[in-house]
């Protein structure tokens, strides 16, 4: 795949729940090695859009083309509270088809990056909300996916972990990964190659 | 395609989680026994008439034995149904994420069934030990088989309810309603009872405990078919509700 070939192309997506139209006409595309931000107010349809992209919701109309294996990080942590961080990573990693040794190696690396090695054998129910969110994010960073769809990935992070997240994302971009980050607030737009805003159900490019 | 590693890891993790809910785990094992002991020490030794569907005549049996077995069986069934129902409803988002990660619906369902069935087997075995000490029944293996099938049907029913409603209260009321009707109608073998999930296993227990030289083969097959049918319908609904909607190119 060449660097400027689109990894994902979304065309005229429309989604409504009953009479409530959330997305009216959303279109965008992302190429290899791009970090795209999707911003919008609460209720603007950012999470709905991501759920459509991963297949958790059906669009009412429109077309989606995805040409790479994806990994998804949901907005609210979806983890097993009564399993340890290590067990959670092993469970989800097995789902991705990774070998046990590979999972341990990758987990160790991610836990060092996100500074939570000391909690490896803590139950998720015993750690702080921020660490829970780190587990949520680390699960989606386990597989060697080329397209990462991250829904509010750094909410609840302290500033230093927020910076760690962006340093790691920049590394991933250099490796050729495409990252879609949904956020209600963007502090520093230089992290993004492009920013798309969702407003009134329509998408607008606000940084290109 | 079914991955044995994925099924094994899923069972292991679900069991690890369950172990950490030690009170729930112990209650699942002990509830049928508590039902049985409570009925054994509060019911009478007088004989009462009971009906077995396949027999035209009524059998006279000891009230204490019949009521204790009946309530213990419902204890196993209700515990299994609640266990399965809560494990389906509470895990919906996590199941969705596991599916997105690469588990298949079949792998997740299979691991849930294997784990719950194993726990129900242990509950049945504990209960069987007590039965052997306290009573003599016509055919112990049929009684054990009936008890096991009550658990199996309970899991199938709980799993089904967990898939058709995503609210725990509604599903709980569904289980309570069926157990209530079963208690009210089952002892009298009312016609409506034969459509309920635990009818066939209860018939097997009655035949095994009280009917001489009679084999409950037909009831065993019907109970298995009922359970498999409930699992299949539940699986299809669950797949539609939880699994990702479309396959990406």
- What confidence tens digit (pLDDT) does each residue in B15-60 have? 999 889 888 888 888 888 888 888 888 887 888 888 887 777 788 8
Q: Say if residue A149 is in the same domain as residue A191.
A: yes
Residues A2 and A65 in one domain: yes
Q: Quick one: A6 and A50 in the same domain?
A: yes
Is residue A167 a part of any domain in this protein?
no
Residue A202, domain member (yes or no): yes
**Cβ <8 Å between A83 and B13:** yes
Does some domain include residue A168? no
* A95: closest CA of chain B, how far (Å): 5
Residue A115 lies inside a defined structural domain of this protein: yes
Per CB-CB distance under 8 Å, the chain A contacts of B7 are: none
Using CA coordinates, name the residue in chain A closest to B21.
A82
CATH of the domain at A63: 3.40.50.300
- Would you say residue A164 lies in a domain? no
Give B6's contacts in chain A (Cβ within 8 Å): 94-95
Residues A61 and A154 in one domain: yes
Provide the residue range defining the domain that includes A17.
1-69+145-159+173-208
Predicted pLDDT at A5: 77
Pick from A142, A143, A165, A171: which is nearest to A152 by CA?
A: A165
Judgement on whether residues A204 and A103 belong to the same structural domain of the protein: no
Chain B residues with CB-CB distance to A67 below 8 A: 249
Strands (E) in B63-198, as ranges, are none
pLDDT in tens, chain A (208 residues): 555 678 999 999 999 999 999 999 999 999 999 999 999 998 899 999 999 999 999 999 999 999 888 999 999 999 999 999 999 999 999 999 999 999 999 999 999 999 999 999 999 999 999 999 999 999 999 999 999 999 999 988 899 999 999 999 999 999 999 999 998 877 778 889 999 999 999 999 887 7
Nearest CA in chain A to B95: A78
A147-151 and A178-183 beta bridge pairing: parallel
Query: Of the candidates B168, B198, B203, which has an alpha carbon nearest to the alpha carbon of residue B181?
Result: B198
At residue A2, the pLDDT reads 55
Residue A178 lies in a domain: yes
Residue A166 lies in a domain: no
Instruction: Report the pLDDT value the prediction gives residue B16, as an integer from 0 to 100.
Output: 94
Which among A56, A67, A91 is the nearest to B244, CB-wise? Answer: A56
- Yes or no, beta carbons of A82 and B20 under 8 Å apart: yes
The span from the CA of A165 to the CA of A155, in Å, is 11
In the structure encoding, which two tokens stand for residue A54, read together?
């991963």
Residues A18 and A45 in one domain: yes
pLDDT of residue A23: 95
Inter-chain Cβ pairs, chain A and chain B, closer than 8 A: 67
**Same domain for A178 and A151:** yes
Q: How many residues does chain B have?
A: 249
From CA B121, how far away is CA B178, in angstroms rounded?
22
CB half-sphere exposure, A138, CA atoms < 13 A:
33
A1 with A47, same domain: the answer is yes
Gyration radius of chain B's alpha carbons: 19
The domain tally of chain A equals: 2
- Alpha-carbon gap, residue B166 to A138, rounded angstroms: 28
Q: What is the mean pLDDT of chain B?
A: 86
Q: Do both A1 and A49 map to the same domain?
A: yes
Q: How far is B142 from chain A (nearest CA, A)?
A: 38
Confidence band (pLDDT; 50, 70, 90) for B249?
Answer: very low
Q: B64-112: per-residue pLDDT in tens?
A: 888 888 888 888 899 999 989 998 898 889 999 999 999 998 899 899 9
Domain check: are A56 and A151 in the same one? yes
**ipTM greater than 0.85:** yes
φ and ψ at residue A99, rounded to 5 degrees: -75, 155
Domain presence at residue A190: yes
Residues of A in contact with B94 (CB under 8 A): 78-80
Domain shared by A82 and A45, yes or no:
no
B167: Cα separation from own chain's centroid: 20
Interface with B, mutate which of A50, A62, A88, A95 (most B CBs under 10 A): A95
Whether A89 and A49 map to the same domain: the answer is: no
């Amino acid at each position: 795949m060449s660097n400027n070939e689109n990894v994902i192309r979304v065309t005229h997506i429309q989604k409504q729940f009953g009479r409530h139209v959330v997305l009216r006409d959303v279109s965008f595309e992302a190429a290899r090695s791009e970090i795209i931000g999707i911003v919008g107010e609460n209720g603007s349809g950012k999470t709905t859009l991501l759920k459509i992209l991963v297949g958790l919701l059906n669009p009412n109309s429109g077309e989606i083309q995805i040409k790479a294996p994806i990994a998804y990080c949901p907005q609210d942590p979806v983890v097993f509270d009564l399993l340890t961080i290590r067990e959670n990573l092993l469970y989800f990693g097995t789902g991705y088809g990774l070998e046990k040794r590979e999972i341990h190696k990758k987990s160790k690396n991610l836990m060092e990056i996100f500074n939570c090695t000391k909690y490896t054998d803590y139950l998720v129910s015993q750690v702080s909300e921020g660490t829970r969110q780190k587990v949520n994010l680390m699960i989606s960073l386990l597989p060697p996916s080329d397209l990462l769809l991250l829904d509010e990935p750094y909410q609840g992070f302290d500033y230093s972990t927020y910076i760690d997240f962006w340093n790691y994302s920049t590394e991933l971009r250099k490796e050729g990964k495409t990252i879609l980050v949904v956020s209600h607030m963007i502090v520093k737009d230089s992290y993004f190659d492009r920013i798309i805003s969702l407003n009134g159900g329509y998408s607008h490019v606000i940084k290109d | 395609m079914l991955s044995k590693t994925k099924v094994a890891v899923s069972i292991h993790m679900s069991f690890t989680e369950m172990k950490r809910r030690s009170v729930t785990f112990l209650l699942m094992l002990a509830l049928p026994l508590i039902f049985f002991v409570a009925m054994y020490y509060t019911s009478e030794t007088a004989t009462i008439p009971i009906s077995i569907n396949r027999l035209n005549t009524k059998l006279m049996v000891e009230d204490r034995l019949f009521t204790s077995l009946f309530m213990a069986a419902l204890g196993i069934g209700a515990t299994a149904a609640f266990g399965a129902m809560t494990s389906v409803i509470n895990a919906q988002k996590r199941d969705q994420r596991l599916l997105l990660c690469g588990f298949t619906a079949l792998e997740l369902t299979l691991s849930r069934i294997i784990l719950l069935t194993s726990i129900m087997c242990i509950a049945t075995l504990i209960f069987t030990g007590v039965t052997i000490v306290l009573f003599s029944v016509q055919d112990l293996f049929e009684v054990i088989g009936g008890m096991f099938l009550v658990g199996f049907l309970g899991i199938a029913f709980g799993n089904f309810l967990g898939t058709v409603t995503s609210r725990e209260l509604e599903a709980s009321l569904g289980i309570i309603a069926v157990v209530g009707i079963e208690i009210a109608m089952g002892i009298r073998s009312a016609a409506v009872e034969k459509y309920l999930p635990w009818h066939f296993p209860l018939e097997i227990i009655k035949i095994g405990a009280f009917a001489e030289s009679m084999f409950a083969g037909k009831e065993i097959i019907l109970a298995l078919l009922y359970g498999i049918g409930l699992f299949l319908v539940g699986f299809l609904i669950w797949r539609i509700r939880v699994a990702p909607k479309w396959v990406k190119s």
